[in-house]
A and B are shown apart, each in its own frame.
Chain A
């Protein structure tokens, strides 16, 4: 049993940078390009770790602490998140609230580091990031609360273990609403296309990208790795709901869930390739709509 505890964190730490690679390859396929190698994020990380960092004299310790603290929050979020039936190292009543606030802490320090540079562009990005995440946070919290209400469990691993095909037949309509709302949160949190374009380099339209412009070397590597881990955590959350596989064979469950995560990355690539970016002023409306869906799910799901 004890060896199973370490399976998901190890897998996540090793395989998380693969997800951006899969998404980029899918987008490249849709655009008719060859695209970058699947392992490009690993190469980037290796390159950045070999380099030194340059710090502006106007910045303080906050700027240096930001990337490390946000990576720390992302690492803890991975440890909290169960993959299907795999037990987590650390689990307690109400740990899904901690998950939401770990994501918030990571974001807070990224924003602090951005504001610390004193650059007006980074300030703009920070303000946008906070505005949208302020709307996205209740969606995630209410969505998870609806899941907790449906399954009658208060820990993430119990919730994941109790979502089954039977749950889908009992309150499937609520689960569909939760999945759609959490997809919106996923796209906001990971700066994906209908909300933010991870590839854009036009300062006026950037949100997340603009906040990390002044980081370089190992700091940028921490940020890249942290965002890959965040992508992995939220993907696993969605896959746990969408593919509730509970066979007797634990290994089979793990393999199916992993394949689900990889397929989900392809789906995200398809969403990014087929949708246009929303105008900035339309994003709050999009998020409020997602919030309405998760509140509706909370109302509809009853145990």
Chain B
């Protein structure tokens, strides 16, 4: 049981590292979708003591939103704007992996320092949650394309989800559904914005929006 959950956490970490190292936006979107699926599996593995109906609603909404709806939206966005790759990120890919390893070490250190109210399922739970949140944040600040930034936002939310599903034990269904709804609205609006940016400017480089000043 214990080591099965650790395998899921390992796969989530590997998905984060792949997101940091891949320049192909299509691959990144697929990896984020797989991470969503992993979260559903994690929910299934940790929530064994709760009513089945609650768990299944949570799992179903996670799979539908994170592995089907968001990836479809983003794939459509990169198809319409003909953006295949993140060409010149602010931080290169090899450096991104190094930053990722530093962040992982930092989250492991933090995870061992922070006192937790409830005993956790695995000692890896908190570090993985922190790592995923920080990787999402890093993707937002280090990438140029709007699609990568939306992905960073999604990854950050995945981290919060890991935190919620492993640490919080009461009434998580409503909290998680609320967060999912927020993220859904957020990604939806960002999808529309990406569409408009690409129609106006033929590219998705966010930093060049600053030249729009009057």
User: A288 touching B98 by the CB < 8 A rule?
Assistant: yes
Interface assignment of B97: CB less than 8 Å from any CB of chain A: yes
Bound together, the chains give a CA A299 to CA B21 distance in angstroms of 20
Which residues of the partner chain A approach B6 to less than 8 Å between Cβ atoms?
Answer: 173, 300
Give the complex CA separation of A171 and B6 in angstroms: 9
Q: A173-B7, A299-B104, A300-B6 are in contact. Are A285 and B97 (CB under 8 A)?
A: yes
* CB <8 Å contact, B10 and A296: yes
Any B CB within 8 A of the CB of A284: yes
A292 to B3, CA, bound (A): 21
Contacts of A299 in B (CB 8 A): 104-105, 108
Alpha-carbon distance A177/B11, docked complex (angstroms): 11
Chain A, 161-190, CB within 8 A of any chain B CB: 169-173, 177
Assess the A292–B108 pair: CB atoms within 8 A. no
Structural contact, B21 and A289, CB atoms closer than 8 A: yes
Q: Give chain A residues whose Cβ lies under 8 Å from the Cβ of B17.
A: 289, 292, 296
Q: Which residue of B lies closest to A285 (CB)?
A: B94
Q: Is the CB of B104 within 8 A of A285?
A: no
Q: How far is the CB of B21 from the nearest CB of chain A, in Å?
A: 6
Residues of chain B contacted by A169 (CB below 8 angstroms): 3
Give min CB distance, B114 to chain A, whole Å: 17
- The answer, yes or no, to whether B100 is at the interface (CB within 8 Å) is yes
Is A295 at the interface (CB under 8 A from chain B)?
yes
Which A residues touch B121, using CB under 8 A? none
Cβ contacts A237-268/B at 8 Å (1 or 0 each): 00000000000000000000000000000000
Instruction: Give every chain A residue within 8 A of B10 (Cβ-Cβ).
Output: 173, 177, 296, 300
- Contacting B at CB under 8 A, from A262-287, are 284-285
Is there an interface contact between B3 and A285, defined as CB atoms closer than 8 Å?
no
- Name the residue on A nearest B95 (C-beta): A288
CB atoms of A292 and B97 under 8 A apart? yes
Instruction: Give A residues with C-beta under 8 Å from B.
Output: 169-173, 177, 284-285, 288-289, 291-292, 295-296, 299-300
Sample (16) of A-B pairs whose CB atoms are under 8 Å apart: A171-B3, A172-B3, A173-B6, A173-B7, A173-B10, A177-B10, A284-B94, A285-B93, A285-B97, A289-B17, A289-B21, A291-B101, A292-B101, A295-B104, A296-B10, A299-B104
The 10 closest A-B pairs by CB, nearest first: A285-B94, A288-B94, A173-B10, A288-B97, A292-B97, A173-B7, A285-B93, A284-B94, A292-B101, A292-B17
